[in-house]
Amino acid sequence: ELQLLVSGGTLVQPGGSLRLSCAASGFPFSNSAMTWVRRAPGKALEWVSTISGSGDNTYYTDSVKGRFTISRDNSKNTLYLQLNSLRAEDAAIYYCGKGGSGSYWYFDYWGQGTLVTVSS
Amino acid sequence: DVQMTQSPSTLSASVGDRVTITCRASESISRWLAWYQQKPGKAPNLLIYKASNLESGVPSRFSGSGSETEFTLTISSLQPDDFATYYCQQYNTYPTFGQGTKLEIK
């Protein structure tokens, strides 16, 4: 059974850092692009970052460039998102998603999400 | 960014109804559109990709159509399990999502 288990969300102060993890099972992880999407309270889903199956290619939405880093460890079947210099507007539920068949850019399976709260 | 606008924002309907949700793109996205269903506290679930392709395991009462800038998601006969929020997402460029349509029980 395909599973994506997201963890790492917590309360962090503005300017702080956090690392989210997404542990995958049930599919050939290294063959799949993976993505982070977030939903802030009262707002629409927002694409955050995508990484290719090999990890060689990464993509970010403009608002997180230079602050967030996506990575993966294919030996551990785990996706990461390092969040630095956190701002109030980064507070959201963060989901990881698996790229659909032959595509990086739609998501055929999602993890359950983890809540990041940014507040002093 | 490509802006995605869904209508309506809220839809009240009854079991057995046929319902349609519309998604409009601010520029042409060909057929690079997906639809998701999300229930409270759960992750989104892929229903449709490439505008009209039904994801494996999704009931056939769900269908998608459209191209360029106008797309629709249709549920042919609402079931109790279908009351949820629905999102469209374009992937012609970096992904962007619609604001969601909440489907409520009338």
Q: How far apart are CA A55 and CA A38, in angstroms?
A: 21
Return the number of other C-beta atoms located less than 10 Å from residue A120's C-beta: 9
Each residue's pLDDT expressed in tens, for chain B with a length of 106 residues:
999 999 999 999 999 999 999 999 999 999 999 999 999 989 999 999 999 999 999 999 999 999 999 999 999 999 999 999 999 999 999 999 999 999 999 8
Which of B43, B94, B100 is closest, CB to CB, to A111? B43
Q: How many CB atoms lie within 10 A of CB A50?
A: 23
Confidence grade of residue A103 (pLDDT, cut at 50, 70, 90): confident
pLDDT, one tens digit per residue, over A57-79 is: 999 999 999 999 999 999 999 99
Residues of A in contact with B45 (CB under 8 A): 110
Cα dist from A113 to A38, A40, A43, B90, whole Å: 8, 12, 15, 21
Which residues 20-49 on chain A approach chain B with CB closer than 8 angstroms?
35, 37, 44-47
Residue B46 has its nearest CB partner, among A37, A46, A108, at A108
Residues A22-39 pLDDT 10s: 999 999 999 999 999 999
B 11-40 residues with CB < 8 A to A? 32, 34
pLDDT for position A98: 97
DSSP characters over chain B = ---EEEE-SEEEE-TT--EEEEEEESS--TT-EEEEEE-TTS--EEEEETTTEEPTT--TTEEEEEETTEEEEEESS--GGG-SEEEEEE-SSS-EE---EEEEE-
